[in-house]
């Protein structure tokens, strides 16, 4: 038993018993005195009466004080319990087991990914990237936490090198202050031999498709998703997906800035945009810096009436991720 508990036990169990004991003796003595001496002077009777009232008032105040002490002790124990539970919150983690340092891939190969996780549910999603040094060169995909993914095709245009690695990031974590990330050790990618040329079949004429923007301000645009909405007016929520590290970004719609040089925060920023119903609308993220932890990662929620779609976009100083939005006819 700690010192605080001993002091509290002393006040409740010991000191409370002492006044109760003397109070009992006092009233029994008073009854005996009145029976023995029937004629008590009025002054003495009044004195005994007021002394009894004062004595019982002191006992009442003492009991109330002990109740307040007990309530404060209970509140303190509850607060300490909640604080302990906060620090026991499980941390999430990802470990990519394949590829590893001895892996050799060829460009245009179909590859697989293997990983293990801790405290991440099976229905959660993880996004994987292929990077060369610190530059993201290909998005490998978003997969549920099944610890295995296959059928991923590498870009044929990847340069050969032994400085590639795969990066995995947990999407939409329960604790936004603890986002699981993992980067493999460096491995090798080699150039695949060129395929033999064959006579090209006569092209079949197809209706001309609208031209989609692929480059903006010298940066390559990579479209990660295509959406179809009901109306040409939509609302967009924007916030920092990872930790707050000084990212400054702009959001462009069809080449025009709708949010310019915005300092990302955890709090959502909401804005409304007008879509062009006659063509696909490109919405992309433009990074003005890399912050402390590149690349810049932004969570975007697109609201179309009662429907919504959550998307994570990444950007660095050489490439931008984008979304293609069509208006339903």
Same-domain status, 162 and 254: no
Same-domain status, 82 and 100: no
Q: Given pLDDT bands bounded at 50, 70 and 90, which one contains residue 59?
A: low
- CB atoms < 10 A from the CB of 131, how many? 20
Specify the higher pLDDT residue, 281 or 25: 281
To the nearest 10 degrees (0 to 180), the angle between helices 17-36 and 42-87 is 160
Same-domain status, 98 and 80: no
Region 90-99: mean pLDDT is 90
Same-domain status, 126 and 73: no
Task: Please report the pLDDT score of residue 290 as a whole number.
Answer: 81
Structural domain that includes position 307 = 215-327
State CA 33 to chain mean position distance. Answer: 76
- Does residue 198 form part of some domain? no
Same-domain status, 99 and 180: yes
The last residue of a domain, from among 156, 190, 224: 190
Buried b (16+ CB within 10 A) or exposed e, 201-240: eeeeeeeeeeeeeeeeeebebbbbbebebeeeebebebbb
Q: What tokens appear for 327 in the block? A: 């208006």
Nearest to 311 by CA among 327, 319, 323: 323
Q: How many domains does the chain have?
A: 3
The Cα 311–Cα 296 span in angstroms is 14
Portion of the chain with pLDDT greater than 70, in percent: 71
pLDDT digits (tens, 9 = 90+) for 235-268: 999 888 877 777 888 999 998 999 898 888 888 8
Element (H, E) at 304: strand 296-304
The pTM score is 0.37
**Residue 116 and residue 132 in contact, taking contact as beta carbons nearer than 8 Å:** no
Q: What tokens appear for 163 in the block? A: 């400085």
């Amino acid at each position: 038993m700690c010192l605080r508990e001993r002091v509290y036990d002393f006040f409740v169990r010991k000191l409370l018993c002492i006044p109760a004991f003397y109070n009992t003796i006092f009233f029994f003595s008073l009854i005996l005195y009145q029976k023995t001496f029937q004629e008590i002077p009025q002054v003495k009777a009044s004195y005994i009466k007021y002394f009894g009232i004062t004595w019982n008032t002191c006992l009442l105040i003492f009991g109330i004080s002990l109740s307040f002490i007990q309530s404060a002790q209970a509140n303190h124990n509850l607060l300490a319990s909640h604080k302990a539970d906060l620090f026991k919150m499980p941390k999430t983690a990802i470990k990519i087991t394949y590829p590893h340092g001895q892996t050799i891939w060829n460009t245009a190969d179909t590859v697989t990914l293997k990983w293990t996780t801790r405290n991440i549910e099976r229905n959660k999603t993880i996004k994987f990237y292929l990077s060369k040094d610190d530059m993201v060169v290909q998005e490998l995909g978003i997969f549920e936490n099944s610890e295995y993914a296959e059928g991923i095709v590498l870009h044929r245009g990847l340069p050969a090198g032994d400085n590639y690695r795969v990066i995995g990031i947990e999407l939409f974590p329960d604790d936004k202050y603890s986002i699981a990330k993992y980067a493999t050790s460096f491995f090798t990618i080699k150039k695949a031999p060129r395929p033999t040329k064959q006579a090209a079949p006569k092209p079949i004429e197809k209706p001309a498709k609208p031209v989609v923007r692929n480059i903006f301000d010298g940066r390559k645009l990579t479209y990660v998703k295509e959406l179809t909405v009901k109306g040409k007016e939509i609302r967009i929520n924007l916030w920092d997906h990872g930790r707050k590290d000084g990212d400054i970004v702009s959001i462009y719609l069809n080449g025009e800035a709708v949010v310019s040089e915005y300092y990302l925060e955890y709090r959502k920023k909401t804005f409304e945009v007008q879509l062009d119903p006659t063509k696909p609308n490109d919405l992309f993220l433009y990074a003005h810096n890399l912050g402390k932890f590149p690349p810049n990662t932004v969570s975007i929620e697109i609201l179309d009436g009662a429907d919504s779609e959550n998307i994570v976009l990444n950007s660095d100083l050489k490439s931008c991720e984008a979304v293609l939005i069509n208006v339903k006819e």
